[in-house]
C-alpha cells in the first residue's frame, strides 16, 4: 500500500508562486508514475501534470503549460509541483496520485492511489 500526503498549499496573489509537495510511503516509490490533479468547487477533477517513474518524461494540461513544473526525487519519495504565474482560475484543491502502469493512465484520470488534497487559493 502507498500513502500520499500533500502539503504546500495556501493563499497567494495572482502572479505569485507556490510549490506543492507530495510525500509517499513505502520502498517502491520509483515503481510509480506520479501525477497532480485539481478540483474547483462544483467542477470535475481535472488532470494537471504527470511524471514518469524515472522523471525523464513529463506531461501537462494545456492550461498550465509554461507555468507549472512537475518533478520528483525518488531518493526522498517525494513529487513536487512548482506553480508560477498563478491565476485566479488555478484556485482548487490539488491532489497527488500514483499509478503503477504509467503516465498514460494518469492523463486519463486513472490511478492506484491518491492523497487527501491541499487547498490553493489565488486572489486577484
CA 18: distance to chain centroid?
Answer: 12
Task: Please report the sign of the dihedral spanned by the C-alpha atoms of residue 110, residue 60, residue 11, residue 123.
Answer: negative
Q: In whole angstroms, what is the distance from residue 75 CA to residue 106 CA? A: 22
- Per-residue pLDDT 10s for the chain (124 aa) are 789 999 999 999 999 999 999 999 977 888 999 999 999 999 999 999 999 999 999 999 999 999 999 999 999 999 999 999 999 999 999 999 999 999 999 999 999 999 999 999 999 9
Residue length of the chain: 124
Amino acid at each position: 500500500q502507498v500513502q500520499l500526503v500533500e502539503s504546500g498549499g495556501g493563499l497567494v496573489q495572482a502572479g505569485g508562486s507556490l510549490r506543492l509537495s507530495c510525500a509517499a510511503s513505502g520502498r517502491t516509490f520509483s515503481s510509480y508514475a506520479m501525477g497532480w490533479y485539481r478540483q474547483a468547487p462544483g467542477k470535475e477533477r481535472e488532470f494537471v501534470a504527470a511524471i514518469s517513474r524515472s522523471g525523464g518524461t513529463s506531461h501537462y494540461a494545456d492550461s498550465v503549460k509554461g507555468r507549472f513544473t512537475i518533478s520528483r526525487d525518488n531518493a526522498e519519495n517525494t513529487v513536487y509541483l512548482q506553480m508560477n504565474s498563478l491565476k485566479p482560475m488555478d484556485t482548487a484543491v490539488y491532489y497527488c496520485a500514483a499509478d503503477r502502469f504509467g503516465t498514460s493512465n494518469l492523463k486519463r484520470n486513472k490511478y492506484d492511489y491518491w492523497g487527501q488534497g491541499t487547498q490553493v487559493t489565488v486572489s486577484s
